[in-house]
């Protein structure tokens, strides 16, 4: 990707330098929260690790083009990186839909704390129910609550149907996946950092 800078939009009510510091801090905290090393984020964003390091440390200006690419790589909206906390945006979360592994996901928490859990609303379509689809394994536990439809949870050799109004919790060291049954299903899920990366992080090309 071209490393040329273009000006980043600034808030007329604020100092551009303060905005730069805010964006740099959020960029690093979101990267750490999602568990990405500099090299891993660089690969997802098609940038060099040294470029991201210079962005985070203030040794390189933050261009809007680069900011957009990094936001996508972090599964976030650009406003999550640049919005100032001078209104309700520091409290109210306005989910932006993303598509990952055939699911539509609306993040319900901000990826800004390395130790927090991640919540999301998911729409799962039956097309995901192919038997050859990969089973995930990662440390921790997953939890989900089915809002509508039915979900079949595959845990190793077991298949468990979870209906609307029911919840499931399980160890993620067992190979697992979940698929919709008979029609689209909507659910709320709570994942730790490893679960977020396994299930919700899109592949950035």
**Residue-level pLDDT at 17:** 63
Q: Which residue numbers in the chain have pLDDT < 70?
A: 1-17, 83-90, 100-102, 111-116, 127-133, 194, 196-205
Are 186 and 165 in contact, with CB atoms under 8 Å apart? no
pTM of the predicted model as reported, rounded to 2 decimal places: 0.57
Read off the pLDDT of residues 94-117 as tens digits, 9 standing for 90 and up: 777 777 666 788 888 876 655 567
What the chain holds in terms of domains, given with CATH numbers, is: 16-90 (1.10.260.40), 98-199 (2.60.120.10)
d(CA 170, CA 138): 12
Q: What is the DSSP secondary-structure string of 132-164?
A: TSPPB--SSEEEEEEEEEEEEEEETTEEEEEET
The string of DSSP letters for 88-137 reads: GGGT------EEETTEEEEE-S-S--TT--EEEEEEE-GGG--TTSPPB-
CA dihedral 190, 159, 131, 129 (to 10 degrees): -50
Predicted confidence at residue 154, as pLDDT, reads 92
Q: What is the pLDDT of residue 90?
A: 61
């Amino acid at each position: 990707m071209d490393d040329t800078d273009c000006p980043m939009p600034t808030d007329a009510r604020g100092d551009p330098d303060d905005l730069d510091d805010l964006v740099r801090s959020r960029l690093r905290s979101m990267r750490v929260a999602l568990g990405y090393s500099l090299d891993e984020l660089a690969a997802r964003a098609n940038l060099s690790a040294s470029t991201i390091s210079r962005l985070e440390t203030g040794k390189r200006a933050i261009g809007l083009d680069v900011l957009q690419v990094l936001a996508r790589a972090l599964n976030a909206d650009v406003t999550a990186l640049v919005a100032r906390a001078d209104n309700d945006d520091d409290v109210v979360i306005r989910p932006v839909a993303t598509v990952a592994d055939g699911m539509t996901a609306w993040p319900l928490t901000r990826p800004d704390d390395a130790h927090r859990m991640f919540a999301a609303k998911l729409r799962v379509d039956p097309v995901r129910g192919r038997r050859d689809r990969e089973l995930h394994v990662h440390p921790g536990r997953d939890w989900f609550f089915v809002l509508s439809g039915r979900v079949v949870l595959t845990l190793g050799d077991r298949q468990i149907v979870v209906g609307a109004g029911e919840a499931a919790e399980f160890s993620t060291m067992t190979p697992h996946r979940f698929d919709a049954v008979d029609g689209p299903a909507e659910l709320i899920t709570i994942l730790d950092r490893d679960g977020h990366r396994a299930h919700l992080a899109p592949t950035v090309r």
